[in-house]
Amino acid sequence: HGSVLKAGGVAGVCVDLILFPLDTVKTRLQSPQGFRKAGGFRGIYAGVPSTAIGSFPNAAAFFITYENVKSLLHHSSTSYLSPATHMVAASLGEVVACLIRVPSEVVKQRAQVSPSSSTLRILSHTLYHEGIQGLYRGYKSTVLREIPFSLVQFPLWESLK
pLDDT at res. 137: 95
Q: Does 30 fall in a domain?
A: no
pTM of the model: 0.80
State the total domains in the chain. Answer: 1
pLDDT at res. 77: 57
Q: Does 82 fall in a domain?
A: yes
Q: Does 152 fall in a domain?
A: yes
Sorted by sequence, the CB contacts under 8 Å of residue 126 that are 6+ apart come out as: 106, 107, 110, 134, 135
Q: Does 154 fall in a domain?
A: yes
pLDDT at res. 123: 94
Mean pLDDT for the stretch of residues 34-42: 91
Give the percent of the chain with pLDDT over 70. Answer: 93
Q: What's the pLDDT tens digit per position in 50-98?
A: 888 888 888 889 989 998 999 888 765 566 678 888 999 999 999 999 9
Q: Does 100 fall in a domain?
A: yes
Q: Does 68 fall in a domain?
A: yes
CA distance 147 to 131: 27
Q: Does 31 fall in a domain?
A: no
SS (H, E, C) the chain: CHHHHHHHHHHHHHHHHHHHHHHHHHHHHHCCCCCCCCCCCCCCCCCHHHHHHHHHHHHHHHHHHHHHHHHHHHCCCCHHHHHHHHHHHHHHHHHHHHHHHHHHHHHHHHHHCCCCCCHHHHHHHHHHHHCHHHHCCCHHHHHHHHHHHHHHHHHHHHHHC
Q: What's the pLDDT tens digit per position in 98-120?
A: 999 999 999 999 999 988 888 89
pLDDT at res. 78: 63
Mean pLDDT for the stretch of residues 12-39: 89
pLDDT at res. 106: 95
What is the span of the domain harbouring residue 129? Answer: 45-160
144, pLDDT greater than 80: yes
pLDDT at res. 115: 84
Mean pLDDT for the stretch of residues 135-142: 96
127, pLDDT greater than 70: yes
Q: Does 25 fall in a domain?
A: no
pLDDT at res. 54: 86
